[in-house]
Structure 1
Amino acid sequence: MTESAAPLPVSNAQKFWVIAGFYGFLLILPLVSCTTAPPRNVNDACAIFAEYDDWYPDAKAASRRWNVPIPVVLAIIHQESAFRADAQPPRRWYLGFIPGARPSSAYGYSQALDGTWDRYTAATGNQGADRDDFDDAVDFIGWYINETTRRTGIARSDAYNQYLAYHEGQEGFVRGSYWRKPWLMERARKVRRQAARYSAQLARCPPQRLAGN
């Protein structure tokens, strides 16, 4: 019978990292648990607003402030994040297990980049805005659509071209950068179809399902 091996000594550094990891987990746990889950049916505008009854007043406020159609705003969110509050572009991975950088700073419902979000908060004075808050995200998209209309003349209701400008930026749209991206034009067609579906759904939606209507 062999003797049991003596336990290996644990260094102070190892103890530190174990404790730090534990408390780090406790710190991020509330953030993870507080993230709003996507609606169960992201393809139905009535179902979205019935599930989250504070979202319709938020969308309506953005629509009135920037004179933009709610269906176009929703269709952009549907395409960009599928209504995931903490959506981010996937990381690059090296050797299958080493995490690399994300391809961009896009984050939240609107997938706004850091710089574009900073422009929005500076222009509107909404310094406390967060990309993972639905009310701020719809206001941001309304602002961006309004800016696109002001700078390019695209109608606010033109979901196809508004999405192209949203993805490429207004200057990129004017340069026609999307012509070299057939996949992007197909994505914009999807946004146009989704906006049309949302519009038809909202027209038939019972008023009592739209909180704040």
Structure 2
Amino acid sequence: MTSNALSSRTPTLSRRAVIVTGTAALCTLAACGARNSVPANPENACAIIRDKPQYYTAMRKSERKWGVPVSTQMAFIYHESGFRANARPPKRYTLWVIPKGRASSARGYVQALDGTWDDYRNGPGRRGASRSNIFDAADFLGWYVSTNNKALGISNADARNSYLAYHEGRTGYRRGSHQSKAWLIGVADQLAARAARYKAQLASCR
């Protein structure tokens, strides 16, 4: 069929139809943006779950399955991505101009690396799991943290050491690689304090 023949058979959208279609698309984009936006007040656990009730549903489901407290999951996600669904490490540049790619393949709510995420999808996770989906991210976090903790003898209630093991991996944690990283110890201490605050706040939510 020639292009002219195709043109003669193809109905032309009216201006009104184009406007309506465009408006619908914009509304869809707006809805997606709202779903992926960060909580308005990430400092307060009660405000987080009022703003994003699906977060609590996902994390509570993960806690029941893997034993990692909701408060700890919240603290991890706050420190890893700031609750940004599509968070990624910043791009690197040579001479401040030439792109060199990103520092790592980390992505999503929990900044999981490609290889680790593949291990999850090939194991307990669903094949189509996405790092920008809060249910998948919370399930991954519960699985990875609890599996590490079991192997290393760390309590799931110990947010500080859970984070150090999450960051360094089992081998690194066993070797004590975190001991020479004052900045990482500082982050782990901040995360543990945040998890404790979230826990207290969750206990008083109305």
Task: Give the TM-score normalised by the residue count of structure 2.
Answer: 0.82
* Equivalent in 31, 34, 37 of residue 32 of structure 2: 34
Greater RCO, 1 or 2 (C-alpha within 8 Å, sep 6+): 1
Q: Secondary structure at the match of 2:102?
A: coil
Tell me the C-alpha RMSD between the 2 structures: 1.7
Q: Could you report, residue by residue, the CA deviation over 1:87-140 in whole angstroms, capped at 9, with x for unpaired residues?
A: 111011223332221010000000000011111111104111100011111111
Q: CA deviation at 1:32?
A: 9.5
> In the alignment, does 2:45 pair up with 1:45?
yes
Structure 1 residues 125 and 76: CA distance shift in structure 2, 3 A: closer
Does the CA-based 8 Å contact 2:125-2:140 persist in structure 1? no
Q: Percent identity?
A: 47
| 1:136-175 to 2 correspondences below 5 Å | 136-175=136-175
| Structure 2 unmatched ranges of 5 or more | 1-25
Q: State the shift of 1:178 in Å.
A: 0.4
AA partner of residue 137 (structure 1)? A
State the Cα deviation string for residues 139-185 of structure 1 (Å, max 9, x = none).
11100111012210100010000000010111111111101111000
Distance 2:108 2:75 in 1: 15
Structure 1 pair 125–186 and aligned structure 2 pair: CA distance change class (3 A): closer
What are the ranges of 5 or more consecutive residues in structure 1 without an aligned counterpart?
Answer: 1-28, 207-213
Say which SS state the counterpart of residue 91 (structure 2) adopts.
Answer: coil
Structure 2 SS opposite 1:143: helix
2:126 is matched with which residue?
126
Distance in 2 between residues matched to 1:62 and 1:33, nearest whole Å: 26
In the alignment, the residues of structure 1 paired with residue 129 and residue 29 of structure 2 have an alpha-carbon distance, to the nearest angstrom, of: 17
Query: TM-score normalized by structure 1?
Result: 0.79
CA gap 1:177/1:72 in 2 versus in 1, 3 angstroms? same
- Counterpart of 2:75 in structure 1 is 75
Aligned pairs, how many?
A: 178
2:32 counterpart letter in structure 1:
C
Mapping for residues 60-99 of structure 1, pairs under 5 Å: 60-99=60-99
* CA distance in 1: counterparts of 2:83 and 2:96, whole angstroms: 28
Task: Give 1:103's aligned residue.
Answer: 103
Distance 1:76 1:125, change over 3 A: closer
Name the structure 2 match of 1:176. Answer: 176
8 A Cα contact 2:125 2:136, kept in partner = no
Could you say if the C-alpha distance between residues 32 and 99 of structure 1 is closer, same or farther in structure 2, counting changes exceeding 3 Å? farther
